[in-house]
Chain A
Amino acid sequence: ATLCFQAFLQMCNLPVRVVCRANAEYMSPSGKLPFIHVGNQVVSELGPIVQFVKAKGHSLSDGLDEVQKAEMKAYMELVNNMLLTAELYLQWCDDVTVEEITHPRYGSPYPWPLNRILSYQKQWEVKRKMKAIGWAGKTLEQVLEDVDQCCQALSQRLGTQPYFFNKQPTELDALVFGHLFTILTTQLITDELSEKVKNYSNLTAFCRRIEQQYFEGHDKDSSTIAARSAKRSLLR
């Protein structure tokens, strides 16, 4: 998710510096990561940040008409609904991944036994949420199928265009880039999730294009590495 914001802010041509903090979740006004700190204002979550940036005069979706804006919102919900939930599922409900990767990663800034307690607590919270929306009964294969369907939809929407709404990047492009790049680069036990995304060549080309265009110019290595380690220690 951090990457979505960076991409978005860089698409708006706003300079951004990424800082990693262990207590970032507590510093954020809504408890959710990431958040931006501008002057003496702190804003978190994609929706409010987009509005904040818009109020300051930068907006990526001004060129869209009403129907396109509706479509953009719908696709953003699709990404949130499917990709984000699938990522959460994989991190917290798939036992193998949980044991080997998530627990150590989430608990790493804290001493024993706090690290175990906090990660179990988070796992329990995520499982409750999955149950409420009906994903608890899903097997890994079904989740992967859903991700595949979502990627297929995104791929078909993107087609051969450079961005989702033709020439100009929008919030949707930032969001999709953030999620897909995370899936493609994060190391998990199995590569099935990233394989699903790699099946769609226009999506991988899209990610590479955005990475080159927006992250290479500014100190690419440090920012992407910082972003990746931010995700590692401060799970969304």
Chain B
Amino acid sequence: MAAPMELSCWGGDWGLPSLHPESLTVMAYAKFSGAPLTVNTISNSWKAPRGDIPVLISEDNVISQPAKILNFLRKQKYNADYELSAKQGADTLAYIALLEEKLLPALLHTFWIEAENYCSVTKPWFASRIAFPLNLYLPGKMSREALNRILLTKGGPPLCSLTEVEAQIYRDAKECLNLLSKRLGTSQFFFGDTPTTLDAFVFGFLAPIYKVCFPRVQLQEHLKQLPNLCRFCDDILTCYFRLSVSGHSPAGQDTADANLQKLTQLVNKESNLIEKMDDNLRKSPQHPPRKLTTLKLAAGGEGGSPLNRLSP
């Protein structure tokens, strides 16, 4: 029996268990391999995030990057890749490299560098989950790191200005999405019927793009044109994340259902009311609107006589 394992990561919103791609990858892998992880989302407490997120703590081991966390889980016998052949294992590595090189820069850009997105969504969301005064500093730092990463890896000549780099990274990302879609085809997961490491990584990268509501959404729009990838994300969310025992998702689902019911009732009532009003209007004679009486007083002579005839 393995020692209890605790994962600290960023929380979620918009139907996702986490907004952070790396945290999401680790959570998905844990679900696929059946590893019992207690997930602690970072909230407004003084336990400020140190170093890289996500962090896995098990006994005395503190492990921080997704690849290392996944390796650790595999060593503890939670292996989602058990049935893969050697070639499929090699393919996994290659596709993960593809994701990191082609998709990650655009993802970072959408979240942290695109000014509208950053100011209206990302910064407030992350700031609300970090304690004061770190919340004034940490989102800015994450944004600068993202920009640095993009410029250093993609920004060499001849792409000198940020707009050219942006254009290039979005082109690469869209191409990457197309390639993933072709590779997935019509199967449920990338290697048949059971999800593996590659599915965890792809889900971790795609789900934030798919679900988070940003003002500038060119990548999301492109993703929505690839229905098999959208279906892939939705499947994993419904199968692996709704049935969690953490307490909030089933309750969340119930309140969402209740809200939906109330909304539908309201809409129905309103449409009934509107129908009634329509009927009334059609049946009754045309009454002039009340305002005209005040105009009559203001306008003087000409307005007066026709209104005198018509007023009730």
Give the B-binding residues of A (Cβ under 8 A). 29-32, 66-67, 69-71, 73-75, 77-78, 80-82, 128-129, 132-134, 149-150, 152-154, 156-157, 159
Contact = CB atoms under 8 A, between A and B. Distances in A.
A50 to B, nearest CB: 14
Contact of B89 (A71, A129, A156): A156
B23 to A, nearest CB: 16
A129 B154 CA distance: 10
27 contacts: A29-B158, A30-B156, A30-B157, A67-B185, A69-B179, A70-B180, A70-B183, A74-B91, A78-B93, A78-B94, A78-B97, A78-B98, A80-B101, A81-B101, A129-B153, A132-B145, A132-B152, A133-B149, A133-B152, A134-B65, A150-B93, A153-B89, A156-B86, A156-B90, A157-B91, A157-B94, A159-B87
B13 interface: no
A30 B87 CA distance: 36
Nearest to A157: B90
B95 interface: yes
B176 to A, nearest CB: 8
Contacts of A128: 152
Contacts of B94: 71, 74-75, 77-78, 153, 157
A5 to B, nearest CB: 18
Contacts of B87: 156-157, 159
Contacts, number: 76
Interface string B2-16: 000000000000000
Interface string B56-100: 000000000100000000000000000000110111011101101
Interface residues on B, range: 20 to 34
Dominant SS among interface residues on chain A: helix
Contacts of A75: 94
A112 to B, nearest CB: 27
Contacts of B86: 156
